[in-house]
Each structure stands twice: as structure tokens, then as C-alpha cells.
Structure 1
Amino acid sequence: MKQYDYIFAGTGLSALMTVYKMVLSKKFQTKRILLLDVNAKQTNDRTWCFWDQKESLWEPSVSKKWNSVVFANSDFTKNLDLHPYHYNKIQGLDFYNQVLNLIAKQKNIDFVQEKILELEESDSIVLVKTESQSFSCTTLFNSIYNPSLATNQTKYPLLQQHFLGWFIQTETPIFNSEQATFMDFSVEQKGNTRFMYILPTSPTEALLEYTLFSKELLSKEEYEAEIEKYLQQLGIAQYNIIEKEVGTIPMTCYPFWKHNTKNVINIGTAGGWTKASTGFTFKNANKKSSELVSFMETHTDGRTFHSKTKFWWYDLLLLDILDQKNETGSAIFSALFEKGNAPLILKFLDEETSFWEDLQVIWKCPKGLFINALLKRLFRF
């Protein structure tokens, strides 16, 4: 049995961010580290977007930036100047290559491509069994999501951000490559929160995604029918589909961190690192991975790795509303962006605003919905 100081069970976004920063810190060079995943991370399987004011650690992976975006619904279209922010696009394979190229140079880090079958924890070690061998470690970082934790309870609502996207190439120039479509709620809502998302990379190329915040997923045919209808509305008749991507992200304030133990820390979606109210993952994971690396330098008990903030409560109220009245999502986001200050909203979504700034954002929302949600939530705790 091979022994390690740290094992990462699953090598998704959060795990790779964390181990990358461990390497850069140069404070874990004497520690043996193992990455375990059935997926070798050698395909372009997803797209991440995030906004930032300056170049980030992940700049080598950024393939496109936009300084402005469009927000729209059936009643209005608004061009939003994001300054001082930039909206960044990262393709999965570029990110994987940036991280794995650095990891491959480290003598103290191994990557084993095998399926994890079982985890066993004792007082001092964690045993990990795969299809062909076993490993042990002092600390395990688990990013394997267990959906039953959130589904087998009723205290915290659970929605899904689910989507299907086409990266298309048109015969004639149609897109403004310098402006992304952040949310377009002009699509039929059908009792849900539904919008289109467009990331143009050239006048003839763009990623279009049909996205929902709701409880139930759709069939593949339903997503694709809506994309086809939207393309017709844009006047796009001739195009080629270059790539497709599909995914679902749980949106919940369920306290996954309560399942941390002395030797096991849940990270990523499994640790509640996804921004619950929007499903945005990249920026949140970037912050939490930095916090985790700093934590490991001085702490050994995984049960103490968490801090609940005011933004957790804000997210919970929005999810309470969308759980009971899913069709109100368009009205809530439209109220924010029609009258609100876009950079301030982004700062709020990044959880970096003061309480006074919070009020400036929240006050733009439909007040009755949030007051009712607050009153009902107080009786649930």
C-alpha cells in the first residue's frame, strides 16, 4: 500500500486549483501528494466564465475577454459596461493543461487514473481503495459529489442550473465578438427561470447555451429545440455545430462542510463551493482553494475549515423564492440589471461588497418576494 500525506479524490476544478496553488506556495514540497481520478483531463469538456478587474493566476488559460455584455428580456435590452471588470472565458482543456503541465514537473506528486471504489477513515489515516490497489493518507480532499446529502432533506431548497450549449460557426458574420450576452430572458419561460447565454469569439463563431434554474432537467431534444428557435430569431439559418457541451450544477445552501471530518475535507461542489444563487463556480473555487491552502499551512483538523457569511443568507433567500416561485427568476434578475450598476452587481456576486453596498443592490429587487421569503425562513430555523 502506497502512503501519502494528501490524496485528492477526484480532480475537478477545485482539486486542481488547490494542488496548483500548493505547488506555487513551495510550502508542501516535502509532502507526498496523490491525485486520483478515472478521467485523465485531456478533453475540452466544459467552459468556465468569470469576471475580474486584473489579470488572474489563470491568465494563461483565458481564451477570450469582453469589456461589455448584454442583458435582455422580452421588454428591454441593455448594454452593460463592466469597467473596471473584464468578463473572461476559459476552456476546460486549456485550464487542465496549465495545471497538469506544472504538476508533471513535481517529483512529490503522482496522478493515478483509476476509479475510486471505497473510502475508509480511522482516527489517524484515510484508506482509499481503487479497482486495482489501495492508498493511505493523513488528509483526504474529497470532490466526489454525493447528491443524496442535498436531496434527502427539506430544510434547504435544491435547484439545478442545467444547460446545453452549441459552439457554432456561421457562413456570414453575425456576432459582435467584443460583447457577450450575459443573460437573455426573452426566451419563453414556461414556468421556470430560463435564459440564453452567448459567448462570441469571432464574427462567425460563438458558444450559445440554453440555461435553466429549476428543479427538473429537460430531455436533450428540448434544449436543442430551444437553441434552434433562438438561432432562427437571430436570423441565423446556415451554421455548423463544432462542439457541444452539457452540464448540471446543484444550487443549494445545504451545509456540505458539516460532513468534514478531522482527516477528510470536502471541496468543490461536494464541499458547497459553488455560488448557490447563480451556479457560478470558477471565481468561488478560486477563492476557496486559496483559503484552503492557507488553512493547511497551520491547521490539521478539517472540521474547522468553514466560515458562514452574510452572502450565504442572501443566496438562501433567493433559492427559497425560486424554489416556490421558479418563474420569478426573470423578474428578479431583470430588476437588478435594468436599474442597477453592473460593476456593483458583479462585486456583490463576488461577495466583496460592504453592507451599504449590499443594500444598494438588494433594494433593486422585488421587495415583497424577499420580505416574504425572509419571514418564512425565520420560522424554518
Structure 2
Amino acid sequence: MAATFEYDYLIAGGGAAGLSLAYYISQEPRLADKRVLVIEPEAKNQNDRTWSFWTDAPTPFDSIVAHEWEQLAFRSPQFEQVFKLARHRYKMIRGLDFYNFVGQALTAAPQIVRVQGTVETLENTSTGIVAQTSAGTFTARYAFDSRPPHFQKRPDKYRYLLQHFVGWEVEAAQDVFNPKTVEFMDFRGEQQHEARFMYVLPFSKRRALVEYTLFSAEVLPKAEYEKAMRDYLRELGVTDFRIEAEEVGAIPMTDHPLPTTVGRHIVNLGTRAGRAKPSTGYAFKRIHAHSAHLVRALAATGQPPADPTGDQWQFSFFDTLLLDIMQRQGEQTRHIFTELFTYNTPERLFDFLDERTSNWENLQVLNSVTPGPFLRSIAHVLRGRPGRRVEK
């Protein structure tokens, strides 16, 4: 006798990853009869973040893109250039717009139920899962877990950094920004033995999101980010401005193995499944590609795919090498990205970071950077121990 479940799919968490999967399920006619439960800790009714990404193809979310840019600027003391993007556009979506967009789609899908609560435990059974939550106990055939990852760090074996930032959405008193050009990385400031850069998304000549971003192991006192942003704006000639909104974040960047499944019936999502790219922290597009991949398999076979992510080993290896350099000698990051943008088009770099380049294209990218730091990191990987900073 077949096991009876309350739901076919239980989604733990209602952030970007959980809502993404629920959305793709709602849009798949072959899954219209599947009962779906989304358990989310809180109602998503505030603009708590923004997501930025590059793309050369239409997305399901184009109607809620707040702004897009056709040019990209890279700046360092050795090299500056504004690139006209060919295939790609750089886009930004506000969190609240995404939550509302997905919420409307889920409301129109009667098989999807949303419950406010926290998932305390997920347990595999022989035929499905049991979820203990603050809203009660539920059973399902499969669970998709988007809760933040929890693991015991192994700094003797893996690398652990953060992409951390504070950003202000500012309104300047005079025209100063170019709304056609995203300031992708401005490395002209002091690096202080770390990777530090300004990132600017201009929405108009007077309004922009200005972020001070670092790749390093520890966050800074908030006043240090704020000073860096004020200094940057002052160098642009901006002394009179209003802060309309603020963003604060810290995204884990690690090569610690993050399992994509737990047992037969639990599939991990989002950062829990390693969807934040370890070497850059970008996650939005990877999350949605993962959701689409899972839903295609569920619709075709009734089961999650045998390979839940489709990740290719060589790109994980490249990520590990860059993480090792950042951890060992963070200030080298500026030089590496300077070489990457000097000798490659943004199109090739975007394709490489999207993990869709061929072996020949990978070789072209790798040949554009000074080999020494990478060879040292390869040695560290081969010996199974991360590189450590050696102060001279």
C-alpha cells in the first residue's frame, strides 16, 4: 500500500531560494496536481535587499527589473575602462518587488499553501519526510530545505571568507552619476591587505546605490564602511546628499563541501546547497537555474534529478584557487581582476563566472593572469591545507 502524505513537496524557508522553487512549480502545468507547502519564518512585506545579476537571455522576472545597465566600468590604479556590453545587460531587482511578484503567482496556484513558522527538524523516512515545525508536524514526499547552512568549520582543510558590505542609496544635490554605467569594481582605494572596492549602481544622474564591499574573513565596524563611502562621494564632488535607504550584508564564501541532498527525500536549496558562487558571492541567477533544473526533473520523472545542480568540478576548483589567494594575500585580488579585465571582454568573464565556458575559453581566461599566485594555491590544494598569510 502506497504511503499517504499531507503534501507532495514541503519547502522550508520563504527567501529567494524557497520562493524561487515555489514559483517554478506554480508555472509548470505537469505539476499542477502536486500539493505544496511553503513554511516561511516571516511575511516578506519589506524591501530588505536587492539582487543584481548579468544576463544575456530573458528571465521570468524582467517585468520587475528596477534598472538595467548597458555599460560596465572597471577601475584600478593600473587600468580603467568603461565597457559597452554586447550580449549582456546588468540588472537589479528589489526584494519587495520579487516577493510581491512571486506572491501573486502563488496566490493564483491553489495547490500551494503558505504557512508562517520555522522548521525545526527535517527527517527522512523510508518513503518521504517528516517535518517538525513551530506550526505543527507535517509529512511530504520530498522536502526542499533553504534554511541557512550549519556546519562545523574545518579551517585546516577549507577556506572561509565573507563578501561583506554596507550600501547607501543616496540622492545627491547635483548631477554626478551616469545612469547607463554600473561601477562594477572600483579598486582605487587602499586595500589594507584585503580585497576592497566600491560598487555603484546609478539609477539617475543624482540617485545611486553606493556600496563599500570587501572579500575578507571578518566584518568591519560599521563606521569604517560609512567613512569609505563618504570619502568616495567626496572624491566625486558630492558633499550634499541624502541617504534614502541602507543595505548591510555578509555572504559566506567558502569551498567547504555543502551537500545538495540529505538522504533520499531532502534536497537542499540556496546557500545551503552552495548556490552562492564561492569566489564572487553572486547567487540570484544560480538559485533560479537550480530551481528550474529541479522542476524540469520533477515534471519529467516525478523525482529530483540524480545530479541536483549540474555543477562542473573544474569551476569549483577555480573558485578554490581564488579563495586561497584571497585568504593568503587578499591585496592580490585587485591585481588579478585588473588582469582579467585588461585581457578579456566582460562577455567572456561573465560566461566564465556563469560556468558555461569551454575548456579552450577557460584556458584563455587563465592565461590572462599572472600564474605565480595560482600555482602556489594549486600547491596548497594538492597538499590538502589552505594557504596562510605570511607577514614579512
TM-score by length of 2: 0.92
1 CA distance for matches of 2:318 and 2:108? 42
The structural deviation recorded for 1:28 is 1.3
2 CA distance for matches of 1:258 and 1:13? 17
What SS does structure 1 have at the residue aligned with 2:356?
coil
2 CA distance for matches of 1:185 and 1:202? 23
Residue of structure 1 equivalent to 2:52: 49
The structural deviation recorded for 1:152 is 4.1
What SS does structure 2 have at the residue aligned with 1:202?
coil
What SS does structure 2 have at the residue aligned with 1:27?
helix
1:333-365, Cα deviation, whole Å (9 max, x unpaired) = 111012222211111111111111111111111
1 CA distance for matches of 2:72 and 2:28? 35
The structural deviation recorded for 1:202 is 0.6
The structural deviation recorded for 1:259 is 5.2
In the alignment, is residue 367 of structure 1 matched against residue 382 of structure 2? no
Residue of structure 1 equivalent to 2:389: none
Q: 8 Å contact 2:260–2:269 — kept in the other structure? A: no
1 CA distance for matches of 2:310 and 2:56? 25
1:236–1:154 Cα change, 3 Å: same
Residue of structure 1 equivalent to 2:189: 187
2 CA distance for matches of 1:284 and 1:144? 16
Structure 2: 5+ residue stretches without partners: 386-392
* Paired letter, 2:328: Q
1 CA distance for matches of 2:123 and 2:305? 16
The structural deviation recorded for 1:258 is 5.7
Q: 8 Å contact 2:297–2:304 — kept in the other structure? A: no
1:25-73, Cα deviation, whole Å (9 max, x unpaired) = 2121111101111121111111111111232211012111111111001
Residue of structure 2 equivalent to 1:263: 265
* Paired letter, 1:75: Q
What SS does structure 2 have at the residue aligned with 1:41?
coil
Residue of structure 2 equivalent to 1:204: 206
1 CA distance for matches of 2:253 and 2:302? 29
The structural deviation recorded for 1:307 is 4.1
The structural deviation recorded for 1:83 is 0.7
Of 321, 330, 334, the residue aligned with 1:330 is 334
2 CA distance for matches of 1:31 and 1:367? 52
Residue of structure 2 equivalent to 1:348: 352
In the alignment, is residue 109 of structure 1 matched against residue 102 of structure 2? no
Residue of structure 2 equivalent to 1:237: 239
2 CA distance for matches of 1:258 and 1:132? 26
Of 84, 87, 95, the residue aligned with 2:90 is 87
1:348–1:331 Cα change, 3 Å: same
What SS does structure 1 have at the residue aligned with 2:219?
coil
TM-score by length of 1: 0.95
Structure 1: 5+ residue stretches without partners: none
Residue of structure 1 equivalent to 2:218: 216
1:57–1:379 Cα change, 3 Å: same
Residue of structure 2 equivalent to 1:96: 99
2 CA distance for matches of 1:81 and 1:114? 46
Alignment of 1:30-179 (within 5 A): 30-149=33-152, 151-152=153-154, 154-179=156-181
Two-structure CA RMSD over aligned residues (Å): 1.9
2 CA distance for matches of 1:154 and 1:126? 35
Residue of structure 1 equivalent to 2:283: 281
Structure 1 runs (4+) greater than 6 angstroms displaced = none
Residue of structure 2 equivalent to 1:357: 361
1:304–1:77 Cα change, 3 Å: closer
The structural deviation recorded for 1:154 is 3.4
1:258-302, Cα deviation, whole Å (9 max, x unpaired) = 652211111100011111111111121122111111232326367
Q: 8 Å contact 2:124–2:264 — kept in the other structure? A: no
What SS does structure 2 have at the residue aligned with 1:83?
coil
Tell me how many residue pairs correspond in the alignment: 380
